[in-house]
Structure 1
Amino acid sequence: MNDTDLPDTLDPADDTRLDEDDRLKPEFVTAVLDAVEDGDAEAARALVEPLHPADIADLFELTPEDRRKDLAAAIADLVDADVFAEMNDYVREDLIDALDARQVADIASELDTDDAVAIIEDMEPEDQREVLRAMEPDDRAAIEEALSYPEESAGRLMQRDLVAVPEHWTVGDVLDYLRGDEELTTDFWEIFVVDPGHRPIGTCALSWILRTPRSIPVGDVMKREQTLIPVDMDQEEVALRFQKYALISAAVTDAAGRLVGMITVDDIVHIIQEEAGEDTLRLAGAGDGDINEPIAVTVRTRVAWLIVNLGATILSASVVGLFQGEIARFALLAALMPIVSALGGNAGTQTLAVMVRALATNQLTSSNTLRMLLREFRVAICNGIALAAVGATGSYVLLGHGGLSVVFALAMMINSVVAGLVGVIVPVALDKANVDPAVSSAVFVTTITDVMGFLSFLGLATLWGLGG
């Protein structure tokens, strides 16, 4: 494939680079890598040049790790700051390691502060200091200030480039300021109005400025009600505020209430996606779940979770061991007891997933915890009755033992109720203890439902005399 085989534009109707889902086609990726391998940097560059920075970032993610540096060398002039901003963290870190401090500093200087921080914050301390020393004083000061804030906080997320004007200015003053200052940022949706202490007191949308006579004071057209973001607020809470109040941008303030930056909705989209995926992966014990993550890190994360689950499984097995005599005398118990624990675990996981999401989105608070507990208790009873009816009928049809079917039904009802209760209580208790419920809840819930499932089924069977 050569450059003449490809169109000059990325028209979705006939593009040979992207498929219908805007993903790079395998044959296009292969063509680029073949050109790089053949030493034809010009051909590789011609293929890649029409792509959007986000698509170039995807190209690097789709390239095998051992060939990424060769690709970067072949299309070096196309791998700009915008491409690095769109890159997967692990892929970006791999490429950054191949650059010297001056190159990294140049890239970071072209980015918004939040994107520059994302590149620098994961570097080794010595490399980080070397890059900062290579930056211009103003850029270095902004990055160092951002790095002083906690990870995943508004201070790390915010941009320093914004437009702020005093309340006594007129609309004409603002327009002259916007047109006359070439150092102003070019990407903004609203103007912040501040008092003499640089504390935000209102906002003006650009549309208001453009449609208002020049002589009108800004204080007469600004909106005084605004959502302010504390600089140390967790990024997940920031995202919830943007979602709740339908924000496009918001002012970030320090401990003294002074305006220090702003956060825009394009940053929040990434945070919402990141946090949603993070909770799902944590429930499964899969760590970051990034396919570009180093194998050693993935193994370390997953095996730790599996070892914890192994311990929980051993605890469940010890309960079974208490009834080994009954199981030996009545072997049908062994056929049904895994069903009781498995259904309890599934029911608990359902409730747990709902509660973790409710906690993450602030739907579940101290004011409605009891109501949610009673709600899930009612749901669990209904589920238990349905499972008991179906299970008892099925076991009787297959095994023809009335007493066993009754015990099976009662055990499923008990475990269903237990699953519903612990699915609420465990994540709420962990959240109160400032422990992430997405990380720790699953092992507690599955252990409790397994133990209760075996204990209720085998205990009831013993009381019923099935093993006698």
Structure 2
Amino acid sequence: MTDETDTVHTPESAHEGHEHLSPDFVRAVLELVEAGEIEAAREKVEPLHPADIADLVELTPGDQRQALAAAIAGLIDGDVLSEMNDWVRDELIEALDPHEVADIAAELDTDDAVAIIEDMEEEDQRAVLRALDPDDRAAIEEALSYPEESAGRLMQRELIAVPEHWTVGDVLDFLRKTEDLATDFWEIFVVDPGHKPVGTCALSWILRTPRAVSMSDVMKREQTLIPVEMDQEEVALKFQKYALISAAVVDDSGRLVGMITVDDIVHIISEEAGEDALLLSGAGDGDINEPVRDSYLARVRWLIANLFTALVASSIIALFGGAIEQMVALAVLMPIVASVGGNAGTQTMAIVVRALATNQLTQSNTVRTIRREILVALLNGGTIAVLLGIGAAVVFANAALGGVIAAAIVINILVAGLAGVLVPVTLDRMGQDPAVASSVFVTMVTDSMGFLAFLGLAVAAGLAG
């Protein structure tokens, strides 16, 4: 399996790529394809960077993608597919022969080849694997044996590992004379006779060290090792925390089996951040290229869940129907109480979900975090309560009503702060993704408590019977 060679993408070429992908450029290419001027279309697309070609395919309407792909088939290689949106890439791969997919996969590092093959139907996947060279097939099959979104799926096997008894000169000679080596690497891993990593050495150190010096003297023994089954989100956190460029991946016995580089981690960080934001809203994958049916199924279940939680809040309002009939001001003001509480809960929840995702919030500081959010809630509640209480008292010429809504605001924002912490933390302790269902439960709590506190206090204060 050969290594991918990236085109140098300078700021100028990036700017040009942006201009190339203007609506006029996309339209011009598609018009050439539709007119049958295939060669002209290829000439227009050929100068683009692989990432820009991927964008061009994604920007093309779905019913025209196959025609475009056929016209520029020779330009859609492994580098382009690895940059492409998952849904669009799967659509194109389905139209390719297994041998064509195998040829593309063979051009890529193992991690990128796995990304292309792993989402294929099992039968198609087997056909592609059969078409690969034995060494490539074995590497990809091993990667596919690891859990999804794990370091084993993410890592690449193309790395440089040398024994610790070698000298710097031995390493330099090895790098210059060996043809089948990784093209892009930033450090060399030093291993013992059992192929277990004992240190790492940056290329800059090797280049600046005399040839006679032993690798055991120049290498750094402290290194961050990534277990092969570690979740990719945890891997990304380690790269962020320790400012890593690359890291060794080890199996259960501690043997070096691959490495992960920072370019892969950039994608993971972006994906995980976007995924959490979409899960909080219940929008599924949130991909504009996702089929309508899949988007519908992903979103409707949370809307149905919201429907049932809204019924809880409605039933509380129904309990105070008589009071609302006697004093219309209650109906005017109660949505404000629920809305302010909901926003406060969402703020806290977003902070807590992010803290859980980045390992900033653990069992050791949960109580401290709850105390902090209670203090913030009291300060926020007090500020909003004063403003809204005075406003309601002046507008409705009723000081008691102003006092009731002020007290209800404080109670609901306090409850919102607690719910914003406790709901995601509880889901996390139960082994569930706190981003998935937190918003539904927090909204239910803040709406229900807002209505209950406001209407209950109004009745207790004698504002309505």
Whether the TM-score (by the shorter chain) exceeds 0.5 is yes
Query: Which residue in the other structure is 2:250 paired with?
Result: 253
Taking a change above 3 Å as real, the CA distance of residues 424 and 11 of structure 1, as seen in their structure-2 partners, is closer
Is residue 233 of structure 1 aligned with residue 225 of structure 2? no
Counterpart of 1:92 (choices 83, 89, 92) is 89
- Residues 17, 49 of structure 2: 8 Å contact kept: no
The CA distance in 1 between the partners of 2:294 and 2:316, in whole Å, is 34
Query: Which residue in the other structure is 1:290 paired with?
Result: 287
Taking a change above 3 Å as real, the CA distance of residues 439 and 333 of structure 1, as seen in their structure-2 partners, is same
The CA distance in 2 between the partners of 1:10 and 1:244, in whole Å, is 28
- Residues 396, 405 of structure 1: 8 Å contact kept: yes
The CA distance in 2 between the partners of 1:25 and 1:186, in whole Å, is 33
Deviations 1:27-80 (A, max 9, x none): 000010000000001110111011000000000010001111111111111111
Query: Which residue in the other structure is 1:133 paired with?
Result: 130
Query: Which residue in the other structure is 2:336 paired with?
Result: 339
**AA in 1 matched with 2:321:** Q
SS of the residue corresponding to residue 201 of structure 1 reads strand
Counterpart of 1:47 (choices 28, 44, 49) is 44
**AA in 1 matched with 2:278:** L
SS of the residue corresponding to residue 316 of structure 1 reads helix
Counterpart of 1:72 (choices 50, 54, 69) is 69
Query: Which residue in the other structure is 1:104 paired with?
Result: 101
SS of the residue corresponding to residue 364 of structure 2 reads coil
Query: Which residue in the other structure is 1:18 paired with?
Result: 18
- Residues 389, 403 of structure 2: 8 Å contact kept: yes
Is residue 38 of structure 1 aligned with residue 41 of structure 2? no
- Residues 17, 52 of structure 2: 8 Å contact kept: no
Stretch moving more, 265-274 or 421-430 = 421-430
Query: Which residue in the other structure is 1:6 paired with?
Result: none
Deviations 1:328-385 (A, max 9, x none): 1222111111111111010000000000011111111111111111111000001111
Is residue 150 of structure 1 aligned with residue 147 of structure 2? yes
Written as runs of structure 1 = structure 2, the 5 A alignment for 1:316-327 is 316-327=313-324
Written as runs of structure 1 = structure 2, the 5 A alignment for 1:339-358 is 339-358=336-355
Query: Which residue in the other structure is 2:4 paired with?
Result: none
Query: Which residue in the other structure is 1:368 paired with?
Result: 365
The CA distance in 1 between the partners of 2:414 and 2:287, in whole Å, is 36
The CA distance in 2 between the partners of 1:342 and 1:145, in whole Å, is 52
Is residue 446 of structure 1 aligned with residue 443 of structure 2? yes
Query: Which residue in the other structure is 1:217 paired with?
Result: 214
CA RMSD of aligned residues (A): 1.4
**AA in 2 matched with 1:169:** W
SS of the residue corresponding to residue 382 of structure 1 reads helix
* 1:213, distance to aligned residue in structure 2 (A): 1.3
SS of the residue corresponding to residue 260 of structure 1 reads strand
- Residues 164, 193 of structure 1: 8 Å contact kept: yes
The CA distance in 2 between the partners of 1:223 and 1:368, in whole Å, is 33
**AA in 2 matched with 1:320:** I
* 1:12, distance to aligned residue in structure 2 (A): 3.9
The CA distance in 2 between the partners of 1:15 and 1:372, in whole Å, is 45
**When the two structures are superposed, what TM-score results if normalisation uses the length of structure 1?**
0.96
**AA in 1 matched with 2:289:** N
The CA distance in 1 between the partners of 2:353 and 2:35, in whole Å, is 51
**AA in 1 matched with 2:18:** L
- Residues 60, 68 of structure 1: 8 Å contact kept: yes
**AA in 1 matched with 2:37:** D
* 1:397, distance to aligned residue in structure 2 (A): 2.0
SS of the residue corresponding to residue 18 of structure 2 reads coil
The CA distance in 2 between the partners of 1:440 and 1:17, in whole Å, is 40
SS of the residue corresponding to residue 293 of structure 1 reads coil
Counterpart of 2:241 (choices 244, 248, 254) is 244
Taking a change above 3 Å as real, the CA distance of residues 355 and 28 of structure 1, as seen in their structure-2 partners, is same
Query: Which residue in the other structure is 1:5 paired with?
Result: none
Counterpart of 1:383 (choices 366, 376, 380) is 380
Is residue 169 of structure 1 aligned with residue 141 of structure 2? no
Deviations 1:300-345 (A, max 9, x none): 1111111111110011101111111111122211111111111101
The CA distance in 2 between the partners of 1:462 and 1:11, in whole Å, is 66
- Residues 338, 446 of structure 2: 8 Å contact kept: yes
The CA distance in 2 between the partners of 1:83 and 1:450, in whole Å, is 48
* 1:86, distance to aligned residue in structure 2 (A): 0.5
SS of the residue corresponding to residue 367 of structure 1 reads helix
Written as runs of structure 1 = structure 2, the 5 A alignment for 1:428-447 is 428-447=425-444
The CA distance in 2 between the partners of 1:167 and 1:461, in whole Å, is 78
The CA distance in 2 between the partners of 1:34 and 1:61, in whole Å, is 16
* 1:16, distance to aligned residue in structure 2 (A): 6.6
The CA distance in 2 between the partners of 1:15 and 1:347, in whole Å, is 41
Number of residue pairs aligned between Structure 1 and Structure 2: 457
- Residues 17, 28 of structure 1: 8 Å contact kept: no
- Residues 10, 50 of structure 1: 8 Å contact kept: no
SS of the residue corresponding to residue 18 of structure 1 reads helix
SS of the residue corresponding to residue 173 of structure 1 reads helix
Deviations 1:380-438 (A, max 9, x none): 00111111101011112221111111111100010010001111111111111111000
Deviations 1:87-133 (A, max 9, x none): 01001000001001000011011111111111111011111111111
Taking a change above 3 Å as real, the CA distance of residues 428 and 217 of structure 1, as seen in their structure-2 partners, is same
The CA distance in 2 between the partners of 1:263 and 1:18, in whole Å, is 29
**AA in 1 matched with 2:368:** R
Question: Structure 1 vs Structure 2: percent identity of aligned residues?
Answer: 67
- Residues 239, 268 of structure 1: 8 Å contact kept: yes
- Residues 12, 18 of structure 1: 8 Å contact kept: no
Taking a change above 3 Å as real, the CA distance of residues 380 and 168 of structure 1, as seen in their structure-2 partners, is same
